[in-house]
């Protein structure tokens, strides 16, 4: 396989063979394909797309770039192993951190492989790297032991699980090649299939904060992922979500971890985050066979949230992978902060009518909380908190948000960008519709 030939074919809109895709991904993983060639391949794919057969080949080749977890012999009931993922959205990354321990508290087993920040969306892997001592790339033995002990654990792609995604991710992050059905499908499904679940719940967002601009594009992405899953024997539920504004109240790494703990412990719960979390955990519980239907799953998830068992599992997950044993009591004490922390006031009083959430995600990148180069070290302590929800009144005493920055100049730049991104009107806007706009069920293909 000559990498330039594969790139040329994709550039010229010709479908790639299974062998070409497998060869290119193997080369990207072992380093024989250069970062420049990976970038060119990604852009050609972004521009010209792939047919479903190529998408499936890409996802399977990326999965097979590493080990596929074999749970036999682990003592874990295979039918209860269910994973979740999100196709990305500004503020959405904390949902995995909430859902994994909560689903575990409901009896679902969740070995979760998540990604780093990607372009303007933060990522679970980075968020957990902000926690001192937490091992996001554990050995296979440590990962299995943590899943067995806690029931739900989040890690990143390791050197042996979906390593091709790790390679491609670094390049996609900084080459404007994220918003692509084949590339997102390959990235997500390679990680999901590497941990051998029997079912999957994936949130596929659309709107200004998501990689998919419209619900039609989200549906296309959901269908492509469900197809890959079904072919591999994995049933899926795709929740098409409305991500036209920041999800929850924070955007960033350490701040998102604090929002997670506040949510799980009940210190503060954003209503849209609650609505989404209950919907996801309910579907996971149904797939795991723990409950009969989504209504029962929702009630179970709410009960486990209220009785503190979700927070307890989160604390156990942190400790199992090397983080502080008392993390949940006071997470901010363990996390990095920022030198400048001040509220951003709107240029006029009124109500938040909407926002360009992507711009707010890009403000985080500019603050140093995301990457502009693959090898950039990010600052976990910067971030955006107290984001005013759509419909909230704003004015001299009611800020748009709080920005945590390294310097005054970076704070000023972020504040200006956020002010420009948020639409403020005199009259209160109509309330937002439900966060889950559609639910697509797909059973695994019969063996
Ligand atoms: N999450 C991933 O893991 N990959 C993507 O490409 C988008 C979201």
**Cα gap 346→363, rounded to integer Å:** 16
Distance 130 CA to ligand 1 centre (A): 20
- Across 259-283, average pLDDT: 98
Q: Flag whether pLDDT at 1 surpasses 80.
A: no
Instruction: Output the pLDDT for position 375.
Output: 84
Q: Flag whether pLDDT at 445 surpasses 80.
A: no
Lowest mean pLDDT among 159-163, 245-249, 406-410: 159-163
Instruction: Output the pLDDT for position 74.
Output: 87
Judge whether 187 counts as a catalytic residue. yes
**Predicted TM-score of the model (pTM):** 0.96
Instruction: Output the pLDDT for position 214.
Output: 97
Residue 374 pLDDT class (50, 70, 90 cuts) = confident
445 versus 376: which is more confidently predicted?
376
65, 114, 187, 206: which one is catalytic? 187
By most ligand atoms within 8 Å of CB, the mutation choice from 58, 115, 121, 195 for ligand 1 is 115
Distance 172 CA to ligand 1 centre (A): 10
Instruction: Output the pLDDT for position 330.
Output: 94
Residue ranges around ligand 1 (CB below 6 Å): 87-88, 115, 118, 184, 187-188, 191
Work out which ligand 1 atom sits closest to the CA atom of 121: 8
Judge whether 191 counts as a catalytic residue. yes
Distance 412 CA to ligand 1 centre (A): 30
Judge whether 172 counts as a catalytic residue. yes
Instruction: Output the pLDDT for position 373.
Output: 84
Instruction: Output the pLDDT for position 446.
Output: 59
Instruction: Output the pLDDT for position 294.
Output: 98
Q: Flag whether pLDDT at 447 surpasses 70.
A: no
- Residue 329's contacts (CB-CB under 8 Å, 6 or more residues apart) are none
Instruction: Output the pLDDT for position 338.
Output: 98
- Across 181-197, average pLDDT: 97
Lowest mean pLDDT among 54-63, 159-168, 219-228, 377-386: 159-168
Judge whether 244 counts as a catalytic residue. no
Lowest mean pLDDT among 165-169, 199-203, 275-279, 343-347: 165-169
Q: What is the pLDDT of residues 58-110, one digit of tens each?
A: 999 999 999 999 999 889 999 999 999 999 999 999 999 999 999 999 999 99
- Across 376-380, average pLDDT: 94
Cβ contact 112:231 at 8 Å: no
Tokens for 321, please give them. Answer: 């992978």
Work out which ligand 1 atom sits closest to the CA atom of 186: 6
Distance 87 CA to ligand 1 centre (A): 5
Distance 184 CA to ligand 1 centre (A): 5
- Across 262-268, average pLDDT: 98
- Residue closest by Cα to atom 2 of ligand 1: 188
């Amino acid at each position: 396989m000559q990498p330039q030939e594969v790139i040329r074919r994709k550039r010229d809109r010709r479908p790639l063979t299974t062998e070409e895709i497998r060869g290119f991904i193997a080369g990207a993983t072992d380093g024989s394909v250069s970062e420049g060639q990976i970038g060119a391949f990604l852009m050609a794919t972004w521009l010209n797309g792939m047919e479903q057969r190529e998408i499936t080949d890409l996802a399977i080749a990326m999965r097979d770039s590493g080990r596929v977890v074999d749970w036999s012999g682990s003592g874990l009931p295979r039918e209860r192993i269910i994973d979740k993922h999100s196709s990305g959205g500004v503020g959405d990354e904390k949902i995995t951190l909430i859902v994994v321990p909560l689903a575990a508290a409901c009896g679902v087993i969740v070995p979760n492989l998540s990604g780093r920040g990607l372009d303007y969306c933060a990522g679970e892997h980075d968020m957990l790297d902000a926690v001192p001592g937490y091992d996001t790339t554990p050995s296979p033995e440590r990962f299995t032991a943590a899943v067995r002990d806690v029931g739900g654990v989040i890690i990143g792609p390791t050197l042996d699980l979906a390593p091709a995604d790790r390679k491609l991710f670094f390049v996609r992050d900084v080459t404007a090649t994220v918003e692509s059905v084949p590339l997102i499908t390959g990235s997500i499904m390679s990680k999901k299939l590497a941990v051998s679940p029997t079912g999957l719940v994936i949130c596929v967002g659309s709107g200004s904060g998501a990689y998919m601009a419209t619900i039609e594009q989200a549906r296309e992405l959901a269908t492509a992922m469900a197809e890959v899953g079904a072919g591999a024997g994995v049933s899926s539920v795709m929740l098409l979500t409305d991500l036209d504004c920041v999800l929850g109240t924070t955007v960033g790494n350490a701040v998102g971890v604090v929002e997670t703990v506040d949510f799980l412990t009940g210190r503060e719960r954003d209503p849209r985050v609650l609505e989404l979390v209950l919907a996801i955990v309910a579907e996971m519980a149904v797939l795991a066979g723990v409950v009969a239907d989504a209504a029962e799953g929702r009630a179970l998830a709410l009960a486990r949230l209220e009785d503190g068992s979700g927070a307890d599992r989160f604390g156990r997950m942190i400790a199992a992978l090397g983080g502080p044993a008392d993390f949940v009591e006071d997470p901010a004490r363990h996390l990095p902060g920022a030198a400048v922390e001040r509220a951003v006031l709107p240029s006029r009083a009124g109500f938040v009518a909407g926002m360009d959430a992507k711009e707010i995600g890009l403000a985080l990148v500019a603050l140093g909380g995301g990457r502009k180069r693959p090898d950039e070290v990010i600052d976990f302590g910067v971030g955006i908190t107290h984001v005013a929800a759509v419909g909230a009144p704003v004015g001299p005493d009611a800020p748009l948000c709080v920005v945590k920055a390294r310097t005054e100049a970076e704070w000023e730049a972020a504040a200006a960008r956020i002010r420009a991104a948020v639409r403020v009107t005199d009259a209160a806007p109509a309330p937002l519709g439900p966060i889950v706009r559609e639910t697509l069920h797909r059973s695994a293909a019969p063996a």
